[in-house]
Amino acid sequence: MKWKLAAEPEESVVKHIEKELNIPYKIARLLARRGIETYEQARKFFKPSFNDIYDPFQMKGMDKAVERIESAVRNREKILIYGDYDVDGTTAVAILYSFLKNYYDNLDFYIPDRNTEGYGISFQGIDYARQNEVALIVALDCGIKAVEQIRYANSLGIDVIIGDHHTPGEVLPEAFAILNPKQKDCPYPYKDLSGAGIAFKIIQALNIRQGKSIDKIIPYLDLLAVAIAADIVPITDENRTLMYFGLQQLNLAPRPGLKVLMKSMTKTEWKVPDLVFILAPRINSAGRMDHGKRAVELLIEPDEMKAEEMGLALEDNNRQRRETDINITEEALQIITDHLDPDQYTTVVYDKNWHKGVVGIVASRLIEKYYRPTIVLTYSEADDLWVGSARSVKNFDLYAVLDSLREYIHQFGGHKFAAGLSVKPENLKAFIKAFEAKVREVMPEEMREPELEIEEELDLIDITPKFYRLLKRFEPFGPGNMKPVFFTRDLRDTGFAKTVGKENRHLRMFVMDGTTRASLVAIGFNLADKMPLIQNKQPFSAVYQIDENHWNGRTSLQLKLKDIKPGNPFENKG
């Protein structure tokens, strides 16, 4: 991997923060890199408060949306909460449904079938609404591009409120109201809410209209925390505040459905990575292997015994999902080995027999092996379309590429780094060729190599318990506030390095730096092949994060190594 030092923060800002907050210089540099320049910004970062959650009525369309929901309640009209089948969509539906269910019962929810309907608002879903005498659909985490579908709903006399966070197209649907901070003329101060975040803003607005304090809706933040983590939206500004309190709720009093899923791991404290790698895959597995509505049913279930049964079904879905994605990944890797040019800028693989529910996971796994924008497709017989998922590499706008190739694509939607798409069989070969050509044209050469961005250079003597305590206060970590990655040069193993773990794949050593003679334990997962670089007291440099090591009842600091290089890879210090 390529090592890259982050841009230097403004020195005057660093000095100001250091003095104002009375903190170590290196901590002040980390804050400055996160755009924190004042005491108030630091307060908001280190100690979020409910006052940092924005007024939902600042969002364009919120007044109109809330009035329509209140009108439906007053007039006993049937409301259908409609959402996507992924974690963000199902948690969004669960948030709004369970809030309304507290005082209104003429309510239903709908999650489209991944295999027969695909992503977003479907004509089938609108027909379901018509058949069930629905007067109002509230669509969450989808709908911003559903121009024809909304037109169809309008023709049936069904009002639709869209609560979406995906990038709007040039033409907006003619919905009753649209809630999306990414609309060009929306004054809402934070643009990176998740779909579940939009659902939370709706219940916040309804709660305000009912004259109740924000305490009443804090219990819904356990779901929102999972959505923010799973959908990989930035954990900055309002999302950071929502995640901060959401993690508190999740750890102290999770709803029965989440509590059941959390039982699968004995953890004393759940953090963002646990939501991404443990909870989210289990919730997602319902939509991947069975039906997304199973996830909503679990998340809105108030009875712990019933939730226990539902949770077992999701665990079974998750086991199937793991087996399926491992098998398909192996097949995809074989196709790449046998048929694709290793010098390509892109990877596109497809097979008629692959399970639609796991192609996004497979695309992410392929990027781990071949670092390039990747699309994995399978065939939908019902629609006569190749359907699948696209994933990007760091900092490369895949959505813009797909947007430029819309003549070859039947339908697509998503984010800068992840998208869903469908292609007609007769256009597939032309699309693959055009995709490769476009990425080759617009992708800078330096983006083709995975990169480790280093925030700060440290001497080992800098790594003290106080330094680590301050570092922990930077949590919750995530996009926009990643866990800091550090670099130290002129390290030497003290002679106790060894390979450990299954098949001796990991590297454990006791390192000393040549500058201060300070020393620490270091562990490098899957870095056993680096052993020759550190033997015989050869000097080396390491990139790492700082962690706690718990062993035999004792806790100590350690370096969690990400990479090692011989000598000094940077000519100048800093």
Structural domains for the chain: 8-36 (no CATH), 57-314 (3.90.1640.30), 340-448 (3.10.310.30), 452-574 (2.40.50.460)
The C-alpha atoms of residue 335 and residue 20 are separated, in whole angstroms, by: 58
Amino acid 556: pLDDT: 87
Token representation of residue 157: 């006399």
DSSP letter for 481, please: B
Q: How many CB atoms lie within 10 A of CB 325?
A: 23
Token representation of residue 228: 């923010």
pLDDT along the chain (574 residues), means of 10: 91 95 94 93 94 97 98 98 95 98 97 86 96 98 95 98 93 97 95 97 98 96 97 93 97 96 86 92 90 95 94 92 94 92 92 92 93 95 91 93 95 84 96 97 92 93 93 94 94 90 91 86 93 91 92 87 89 50
> Does an H or E element contain 140, and which?
strand 134-140
DSSP letter for 275, please: I
CA angle 182, 185, 191 (to 5 degrees): 30
Amino acid 551: pLDDT: 77
96, 80 Cβ separation under 8 angstroms: no
Alpha carbon 347 to chain centroid, angstroms:
22
Amino acid at 163: G
524 strand-pairing partners: 507
Give DSSP secondary structure letters for 294-358. Answer: HHHHHHH---HHHHHHHHHHHHHHHHHHHHHHHHHHHHHHHHHHHHS-TT-S-EEEEETTS-GGG
Residue 415's Cβ-count burial label (10 Å; 0-12, 13-18, 19+) is middle
> What is the sign of the dihedral through the CA atoms of 20, 21, 22 and 27?
negative
Amino acid 496: pLDDT: 85
Q: Which of 466, 491, 459, 487 is nearest to 545 (CA)?
A: 487
The C-alpha atoms of residue 478 and residue 119 are separated, in whole angstroms, by: 26
Q: Which residues of 438-471 are buried (b: 16+ CB within 10 A; e: fewer)?
A: bbeeebeeebeeeeeebbbbbbbebbeeebeebb
Amino acid at 193: L
β strands within 232-280, DSSP E: none
Which residues lie closer than 8 Å to 548 by C-beta, 6 or more apart? 468, 555, 556, 557, 558
Residue 378 CA: distances (Å) to CA of 326, 388, 413, 436: 16, 6, 17, 19
Amino acid 275: pLDDT: 94
Amino acid 426: pLDDT: 97
Please provide the distance, in angstroms rounded to a whole number, between the alpha carbons at the two ends of the chain.
Answer: 19
Alpha carbon 89 to chain centroid, angstroms:
13
Amino acid 503: pLDDT: 87
Backbone angles phi, psi at 263, to 5 degrees: -65, -20
Amino acid 571: pLDDT: 60
> Does an H or E element contain 510, and which?
strand 506-513
Give DSSP secondary structure letters for 155-201. Answer: HTT-EEEEE--SPP-SS----SEEE-TTSTT---S-----HHHHHHH
What is the reported pTM? 0.89
Which H, E and C letters describe 51-110, residue by residue? HHCCCHHHCCCHHHHHHHHHHHHHCCCEEEEEECCCHHHHHHHHHHHHHHHCCCCCEEEE
Residue with tokens 């600091």: 557
476, 240 Cβ separation under 8 angstroms: yes
325, 365 Cβ separation under 8 angstroms: yes
318 strand-pairing partners: none
